[in-house]
Amino acid sequence: MRQMLVSRRAVVGGLLLTAVGGGVATSWASPIIGKATEVRGDVRRRQADKEDALTVGGQLFENDRVHTSAESFATLNLGTDTRVLLGSETDLLVDSFIAGQGGTLELGLGRMVFDRPEGLPKVNVAVRTAFGMIGVRGTKFFCGPSRALFAVFVEHGSVSVQRGGVTKIVAAGQGVEFHHRGDAPSDPVNWGEARIKEAYASVGLAR
């Protein structure tokens, strides 16, 4: 699948995933919303009009954009119990995040895993891309290219996928695909262990 950086304008009405379940500060009024806990390779962070290397311990603020280069990976901790794993050549905008409540992320390029342990209070997290609208309840999920298709896989919890007037409910162990931008999501199917391992490996995560 050819990956293209999706501008903020392009993702309006795009993919929305709603989950329930040392740098330069941009402003004294902008709270720290997370930090990088693992960085491998070349990972960059853009804050307003400034760009620098993101290193372990680097703080994240609202409207920070994180980009991983080829063969590079990053793990971002948001709040105290949510982490986002980014694969190579991925671009993620951390639009906003409030610990215990949720926020908005924007995946413009690449793939990610959102991981929030089961049993915690539910929070609302939105992840936008260009492929549809997905509502996720208290879950761990993969989002991004998988075997040449854009896909969403749910490890635990459930997902409501909406696009083109079509809604699909995806249960734990299932995934959906988008064959082309603008298409409705496919019917949910169970993913085999091999495909799950491939998807997780693409963000540097062992199954």
| pLDDT tens per residue across span 155-164 | 988 777 878 8
| pLDDT tens per residue across span 15-61 | 555 554 444 444 445 789 999 999 999 999 998 889 999 999 999 99
> Is residue 88 included in any domain, yes or no?
yes
Three-state secondary structure of 40-104: ECCEEEEECCEEEECCCCCEEECCEEEEECCCCEEEEEECCCEEEEECCCCEEEEEEEECCCEEE
Cα–Cα distance between 142 and 135 in angstroms, integer? 13
State residue 120's pLDDT score: 82
Q: Are 64 and 92 in contact (CB under 8 A)?
A: no
Encoded tokens for 102: 């949720």
Cα–Cα distance between 87 and 104 in angstroms, integer? 19
Question: Which residue range(s) make up the domain with 36?
Answer: 18-201
State residue 136's pLDDT score: 66
Farthest CA pair distance, the chain:
48
> Is residue 83 included in any domain, yes or no?
yes
Strands 64-68 and 91-98: antiparallel
State residue 16's pLDDT score: 56
State residue 46's pLDDT score: 95
Which residues partner with 204 through β-bridges? none
Q: What mean pLDDT is predicted for residues 72-78?
A: 96
Q: Are 46 and 108 in contact (CB under 8 A)?
A: no
Distance of CA 48 to the CA centre of its chain: 21
Mean pLDDT of the chain: 84
Asked if the model's pLDDT at residue 70 lies above 80, the reply is: yes
Cα–Cα distance between 123 and 105 in angstroms, integer? 13
Asked if the model's pLDDT at residue 12 lies above 80, the reply is: no
> Is residue 1 included in any domain, yes or no?
no
| pLDDT tens per residue across span 101-152 | 888 889 999 999 999 888 888 778 878 888 877 776 668 999 999 998 899 9
Asked if the model's pLDDT at residue 1 lies above 60, the reply is: no
Query: How many domains is the chain partitioned into structurally?
Result: 1
> Is residue 142 included in any domain, yes or no?
yes
> Is residue 6 included in any domain, yes or no?
no
Residue 48: CATH number of its domain: 2.60.120.1440
> Is residue 160 included in any domain, yes or no?
yes
Strands 124-129 and 15-19: antiparallel
State residue 181's pLDDT score: 85
Tokens 């290397």 correspond to 53
Asked if the model's pLDDT at residue 91 lies above 80, the reply is: yes
> Is residue 117 included in any domain, yes or no?
yes
